[in-house]
Structure 1
Amino acid sequence: MNRPLSRLALALAATAGFAGMAQAADPESCAAVRMSDPGWSDITSTNGFAGVVLDGLGYSQNVSTLSVPITYQAIANNEIDVFLGNWMPAHQAFREEAQANNSLEQLAENLGGVRFTVAVPSYVSEAGVTDVSDLAEHAQEFNSRLYGIDAGSPANENLQAMIDSGDFGLDGWEVVASSEQGMLAQVSRAERREQWIAFLAWEPHPMNANFDITYLSGADDYFGPDFGRADINTVARAGYAEDCPNAGKLFEQMTFTVEMENALMDRLADGETAEAAATAYLTENPDVLEPWLDGVTTLSGKPGLDAVRAHLGL
């Protein structure tokens, strides 16, 4: 009598164990992860990493190309789940508004110690422009323009604030808004002709290898100290990690390095898609998967690391 009962107890315990494993995965409502890309190659790169891993786990990734202000609105409206490009302190105003409305949560700092401020080609700095206070006396050479990125971005607002403040004698200067690619095309043209240009620059980015540039000092009040030293965070709509704890755990653990992002952006510059570039990098550097996938399962509750490695053919 006792043995059959013991067998039944073991069977029930095993069944409960399997059920527990299945419950470790997310509900079907989490299967599609909605993400944003402002059109920046660094976020395209990190979204590429995330997309390949999500595919291997049985999720799908839906990326929308949205400006930074629209991204934060979409997060607040529950239209975007995760954004890998919360640059701080540049996005401070958006963060404060979102936190006041309880519409956003931070999951992780995914990259630290990056730079983001005004730069010039090095032949310009060698001619004496090393600080933003040096710009005004060379207004004619610069055509009184500061080249920024997408309209409405916090970075462009910082450039406009530098003009409006009167701190640097930039009255009459103009912020030229453009896409990242458009701005860099303008830098490339100026460099070929050895014309003077002042523009937004940041690292990680291939521009640091493709152009000989100098970051300007003096803009600490607008971009932060140490040449706009910044941290990049992963943020999500409020409640995402609670609604989708398995995917939330992945994004809490997914961090990057400057070297990783530069490597991926180099591949993008060579014409590869983000998915192909990320797949190639992860195939060549599979060790980065282990900390990302520690305790993470597939959508169906199977071991995540094994599934992603199999997805990559490892």
Structure 2
Amino acid sequence: MRSKILPVLLVAVVLLAAGCGASSQVAARSQDDRIDIAYTGWPEDAAIVGVTGALLEDLGYEVRVHRVGQSEAIDGVASGRYDVFGDVWVPVHEELLDRAGEGRENPLDGRLDELDLLNSWVVGVTRSSLAVPSYVGINRVDEIEGSGVKRALVLAPGASALGPLPEEALSRWGLEVEEYGSAAAMLEEVGRLYSRREPFVFLAWAPHWMNREYEITYLEDPGYALGSLTLPAEIRIITRRGMEEQQPLAHALIDTIVLTQSQVEDVQLAIREAGGPEEGARRWLAANRDLRSTWLRNAGARAVGS
């Protein structure tokens, strides 16, 4: 029989957290109070880790963030090493989910063999392609040749959540490829070239703060030369199997948070200004207290009713 005490404690914790300041924390509850989050360091992952981690801490959880690669993040949640990972692009990462959920024909049904796939935490779907500064004046990838664009700034495999970029297409367009190990490093060069109004093409996606910083044109790919790179995706969260029953409030909160793409970019800009996910997310939450309180109250209601 389910204890009658736990729902009362959950309600008390949520009411305290919903009414407290952004830097306050309520006392830890009488359930497992540690949450292990897998984190790739990708910009959208930084946004959800920062927001989720701050709110979990306000609920009294001890939050531990583990910097890992994408494959390790998904496999780690499936094995129970981590509780949550928030940067799974569906269907882009379908193969990794299939491997983690062996024996399951369709990973999109929300229940894998060893992990749970939650709903998208970003409204709408992603957008990704090669892009150029709008001053270059082209709209399609087959217009790259003859446009004066010679340099292509891209990311190394594993440096982002995006699908693979076909190298043969870049060679076909006569581009000199420059590969970067992180989005931050690539965008530093993007900013330098953009300020000098030089022609170049680079890997772009949304949601991301680059769409606020620069006037860019995502290149259309009618011939599918870029393959799955331009495939729209939902950004979803995975949690370890059993978390919903063992840590109902934490699980409910994680599954309650939903951001518009504009809000994701707002959080990213706050993180960029603050110099880190935790401080940036807390600043953003402090400026969005009503949304913060709504998430906490909804999570409490779901946890009590589960």
Q: TM-score, normalised by structure 1?
A: 0.74
Q: Is the 8 A contact 1:108 1:251 kept in 2?
A: no
Quick check: which one's helix share is greater?
Answer: 1
Q: In the alignment, is residue 192 of structure 1 matched against residue 195 of structure 2?
A: yes
SS of residue paired to 1:106: strand
1:175 & 1:104 partners in 2: Cα distance? 37
Q: Is the 8 A contact 2:159 2:183 kept in 1?
A: no
**1:215 maps to what in 2?**
218
2:95 & 2:5 partners in 1: Cα distance? 46
Letter in 2 for 1:222: S
Q: Is the 8 A contact 1:163 1:170 kept in 2?
A: no
2:218 & 2:175 partners in 1: Cα distance? 23
Q: In the alignment, is residue 116 of structure 1 matched against residue 128 of structure 2?
A: yes
Residue 253 of structure 1: how far off its partner (Å): 1.0
2:91 & 2:178 partners in 1: Cα distance? 20
Residue 183 of structure 1: how far off its partner (Å): 1.0
**2:80 maps to what in 1?**
78
Correspondences of 1:139-158 after superposition (within 5 Å): 141-143=149-151, 145-148=152-155, 151=158, 153=160, 155=162, 158=164
- Structure 2 vs 1, CA of residues 91 and 17 (structure 1 numbering), >3 Å: closer, same or farther? closer
Residue 33 of structure 1: how far off its partner (Å): 1.0
- Structure 2 vs 1, CA of residues 149 and 116 (structure 1 numbering), >3 Å: closer, same or farther? farther
Give the CA RMSD over aligned residues. Answer: 3.3
Q: Determine which structure has more spread, i.e. the larger CA radius of gyration.
A: 1
**2:206 maps to what in 1?**
203
1:265 & 1:19 partners in 2: Cα distance? 35
Q: Is the 8 A contact 1:133 1:168 kept in 2?
A: no
Percent of residue pairs bearing the same amino acid type: 24
Residue 152 of structure 1: how far off its partner (Å): 6.4
Structure 2, gaps ≥5 residues long? 14-27, 104-112
Q: Is the 8 A contact 2:86 2:238 kept in 1?
A: yes
SS of residue paired to 2:121: strand
Residue 21 of structure 1: how far off its partner (Å): 2.6
1:171 & 1:117 partners in 2: Cα distance? 18
**1:234 maps to what in 2?**
237
Q: Is the 8 A contact 2:80 2:240 kept in 1?
A: yes
1:20 & 1:51 partners in 2: Cα distance? 22
Letter in 1 for 2:83: D
Q: Write the deviation string for residues 112-160 of structure 1: whole angstroms up to 9, x where unpaired.
A: 3232222121122x0x3x222333x3598424x45125546552x520x
1:171 & 1:141 partners in 2: Cα distance? 9
Q: TM-score, normalised by structure 2?
A: 0.76
Q: Is the 8 A contact 1:107 1:252 kept in 2?
A: yes
**2:141 maps to what in 1?**
132
2:197 & 2:211 partners in 1: Cα distance? 17
SS of residue paired to 2:123: strand
**2:276 maps to what in 1?**
273
2:288 & 2:135 partners in 1: Cα distance? 37
Residue 110 of structure 1: how far off its partner (Å): 0.4
- Structure 2 vs 1, CA of residues 233 and 134 (structure 1 numbering), >3 Å: closer, same or farther? same
Structure 1, gaps ≥5 residues long? 1-15, 303-314
Q: Write the deviation string for residues 75-126 of structure 1: whole angstroms up to 9, x where unpaired.
A: 23322211111122322221222232623211221013232222121122x0
Q: Write the deviation string for residues 30-73 of structure 1: whole angstroms up to 9, x where unpaired.
A: 31111122212222122111122111111021112222222123
Q: Is the 8 A contact 2:271 2:279 kept in 1?
A: no
**1:33 maps to what in 2?**
35
**2:117 maps to what in 1?**
106
1:275 & 1:261 partners in 2: Cα distance? 14
Q: Is the 8 A contact 2:117 2:236 kept in 1?
A: yes
SS of residue paired to 2:190: helix
Equivalenced residue count is 273
1:65 aligned to which of 47, 67, 73: 67
